[in-house]
């Protein structure tokens, strides 16, 4: 049986709500929350939903009845008001992530699923934090990871993630592109069971540079890199213009799209699957998935949130665990 760690994320956001909603159905695996017990109990009371916290214990994972969840207590820094951010709870958010990660590294948990966090309030508390992906990479001493989002019928991976758009062109080098494609290709084989992944690669510039008239990055960086990797047996197509790549003609025969920057690829994916998409970190020594949405502070404590992405993130994690057991 599988044991999955879950971190609800920002305590004043929608993460705790979604977790409580999700556990109302019986689970045929063990889900262990790295969270403050009082937070979950109070939020469940606000939502008028039952909850039963079971203490984490060594040994084999156990299935859960409706309303049950295993708890590994992490103490809040201060009282939580739904919808109101407080920097004093930022350390709690990071502690939960760190302890869930350690549980995976020690093989106590088979995977971790993360709820939405608020980067702004974490940085306001004095922590340098750009996102889950970068945090987990640093904590595991992983030099390079790849951020990929997936929904039904579409997967999009990124060469660059949370950096200013003005920094993207100088950041994209042949070395970075090669490392990204190596990880993407390897992880799709190992964690998704795709024997020979077909990767569509976006150009950086409009119309993929249009033979250099709209930019030289395709000619100087992207195309030479892809040619080298194709000679090594990688199944790559591109660089392609992003405005035509995301059409059925191309997507029907590909396994993943590789976008050059965050807002090149993710708007299309989120338009297609928002609320049921999953964020997967590739290249880590553990399996990690996450929801595709933010903290939704205005919905916290109301019961109006959509748990679809959390359900999908847990299901993706389960599939990857089962494929690698």
- Provide the whole-model pTM: 0.91
Residue 160, domain extent: 143-283
Say whether both 154 and 255 belong to one domain.
yes
Say whether both 34 and 23 belong to one domain.
yes
pLDDT computed for residue 130 by the predictor: 84
The one-digit pLDDT tens for each residue of the chain (325 residues) are 999 999 999 999 999 999 999 999 999 999 999 999 999 999 999 999 999 999 999 999 999 999 999 999 999 999 999 999 999 999 999 999 999 999 999 999 999 999 999 999 999 999 999 888 889 999 999 999 999 999 999 999 999 998 999 999 999 999 999 999 999 999 999 999 999 999 999 999 999 999 999 999 999 999 999 999 999 999 999 999 999 999 999 999 899 999 999 999 999 999 998 888 999 999 999 999 999 899 999 999 999 999 999 999 999 999 999 988 7
Q: List the alpha helices (DSSP H) in the chain.
A: 15-22, 37-47, 90-105, 119-124, 132-139, 168-171, 174-192, 217, 223-231, 242-245, 248-251, 262-273, 308-324
Say whether both 84 and 123 belong to one domain.
yes
Q: How many domains does the chain have?
A: 2
Say whether both 174 and 105 belong to one domain.
no
Give me the CATH number covering residue 155: 3.40.718.10
In the three-class reduction of DSSP (H, G, I as helix; E, B as strand; rest coil), residue 60 is classed as coil
């Amino acid at each position: 049986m599988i044991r999955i760690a879950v971190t609800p994320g920002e305590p004043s956001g929608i993460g705790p709500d979604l977790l409580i909603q999700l556990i109302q159905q019986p689970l045929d695996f063990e889900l262990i929350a790295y969270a403050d017990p009082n937070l979950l109990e109070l939020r469940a009371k606000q939502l008028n939903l039952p909850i039963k916290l079971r203490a984490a214990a060594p040994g084999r994972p156990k299935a859960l009845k409706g309303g049950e969840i295993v708890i590994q207590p992490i103490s809040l820094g201060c009282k939580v008001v739904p919808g109101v951010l407080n920097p004093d709870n930022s350390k709690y958010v990071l502690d939960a992530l760190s302890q869930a990660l350690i549980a995976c590294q020690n093989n106590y948990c088979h995977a971790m699923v993360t709820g939405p966090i608020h980067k702004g309030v974490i940085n306001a508390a004095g922590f340098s934090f750009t996102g889950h992906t970068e945090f987990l990479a640093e904590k595991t001493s992983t030099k390079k990871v790849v951020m990929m989002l997936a929904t039904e019928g579409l997967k999009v991976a990124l060469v660059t993630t949370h950096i200013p758009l003005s920094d993207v062109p100088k950041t994209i080098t042949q070395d970075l592109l090669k490392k990204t494609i190596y990880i993407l290709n390897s992880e799709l084989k190992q964690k998704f069971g795709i024997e020979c992944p077909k990767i569509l690669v976006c150009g950086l510039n409009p119309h993929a540079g249009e033979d250099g008239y709209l930019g030289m990055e395709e000619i100087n960086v992207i195309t030479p890199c892809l040619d080298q990797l194709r000679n090594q047996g990688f199944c790559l197509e591109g660089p392609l213009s992003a405005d035509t790549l995301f059409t059925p003609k191309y997507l029907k025969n590909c396994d993943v799209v590789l976008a050059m920057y965050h807002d090149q690829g993710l708007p299309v994916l989120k338009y297609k699957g928002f609320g049921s998409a999953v964020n997967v970190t590739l290249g880590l020594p553990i399996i990690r998935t996450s929801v595709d949405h933010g903290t939704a502070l205005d919905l916290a404590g109301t019961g109006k949130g959509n748990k679809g992405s959390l359900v999908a993130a847990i299901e993706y994690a389960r599939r990857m665990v089962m494929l690698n057991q």
